[in-house]
Every structure is written in structure tokens, then in C-alpha cells.
Amino acid sequence: MTLDYIHRFVPARNQGEQLPTLLLLHGTGGNEEDLLGLGSQLLPGAALLSPRGKILENGMPRFFRRLAEGVFDVEDLQQRTEELADFILAASQEYHFDPARVIAAGFSNGANIAASMMLLRPDALYAAVLYHPMVPLIPDPLPDLTGVDIFITAGRNDPLIPVPETERLEQLLQQTGATVETHWSESGHSLSNSEFRSSKEWLERVLSAKKM
């Protein structure tokens, strides 16, 4: 396994806290710098691992190909999901963090591949914050995600992701046994202040409950 993604890694500020590592996954057109500020505020002091998506769509980085707006290239998605999960393991060896204690925070395309990892590589992530995700794919059989905590945020005025799509993802993840909480805002396809605050409060509750 190699570190075959352009990426940024920010070490944990206080090793004694033993906080999980945050995997930051940008949206279409973003890069490895985009979510570093969000990550440092979401879980202060935690190590941050932020890769850049390998796929270019009209010059804009993404984590996997799509055939049209909202229509994913499932074969490519599966391949890229496996690559990203392997990258986390390689990075854990390089940077000396626990691969069993990685929490994803992804927006849009980044949230979609995070959801795909939970469905295809259920051991890759400990928990996830999914900002404006869609259903990436439906594996058969579904994995067992009992004990995994997932937070979804969605906008009722999101022009790219209809309300039923978010509800479909929520139901799919619940079928795996995951504990899913969804926060709705009136926003469009963007991360609102209320979404960030609610995700930060959720993460604090989850980590406190797990005594991490």
C-alpha cells in the first residue's frame, strides 16, 4: 500500500488525548486544503487526513466518476472506494495513527464516497459526518454497521439533492444497523452554520458516549 493520493496530514496537537483521526473529504472542485479549517474546529486537537480526489471532471477534482448529474459510475465508485480505504491504512502506517479510529467528515462528493466506504468497507470508518450526501450505491448483501454512528445534514432547498434522496440514504443506513441522525436546514447545496454547529455537538456527544 502506498500514499497514492495528493494529501495533507496535520498531526494531533495533544497525543495524550487519544482523539480519533478526522478524514476530510472535499466536494467537487475542492482540494486537500478545503476542509482543514472545518476539521480543526469540528474536533479541535485531532489529527487531520485530507486527500485530494483523483478524478478530474472539467478540471475539477472528484473522488469518483459520474455519468451525469446525480448518476454515478458505480464500477468506478467501487474501485475508488477500495483505493481510498487502502490509502487510509497506508497513511495510518506512515503517520502512526489508529486506523480503527478514523471518522470521516465529507461534503457532497466527499460525503458520497464516505457513505460508499461504510457500505463496501465497513471496517474503514468508525463514524461519519455526511454533509449533503446521496445514496452512492446499494450493495447486496448490506454490511453490518451495528455500533457505527452517522450524522447526515441536508438542505430542504438543495437543488441537487431532493428531500426523498436524503430520506432514502437515511433508511438504507438504518437497515445496516447504524445509528443515524439527520439534521435539516433551509439551505441549498452548501454547508450552513447550523449544520456545522449541529454536527460538532453530535460528534462531541458520540465521543463522550464512547469515552474516546
pLDDT of residue 15: 63
**Radius of gyration over every alpha carbon of the chain, rounded to an integer in angstroms:** 16
Residue 108 designated active-site: yes
Residue 208 designated active-site: no
Phi, psi angles (nearest 5°) of residue 188: -90, -140
Question: Could you report the per-residue pLDDT of 140-186, keeping only the tens digit for each?
Answer: 999 999 999 999 999 999 999 999 999 999 999 999 999 999 999 99
Q: Is residue 1 part of a domain?
A: no
Q: Is residue 2 part of a domain?
A: no
Residue 189 designated active-site: yes
pLDDT of residue 104: 98
- What's the total number of domains in the chain? 1
Of 108, 185, 187, 198, catalytic: 108
CATH code for the domain of 153:
3.40.50.1820
- pTM over 0.85? The answer is yes
Of 7, 189, 190, 192, catalytic: 189
Query: What is the rounded CA–CA span in Å between residue 193 and residue 180?
Result: 20
Q: Is residue 147 part of a domain?
A: yes
Is residue 67 helix, strand or coil? strand
What's the residue count for the chain?
212
Residues of the chain whose pLDDT is less than 70?
A: 1, 15-17, 212
Q: Which residues pair with 53 in a beta bridge?
A: none
Of 132, 158, 187, 199, catalytic: 158
Domain that holds residue 127: 7-210
pLDDT of residue 212: 53
Q: Is residue 84 part of a domain?
A: yes
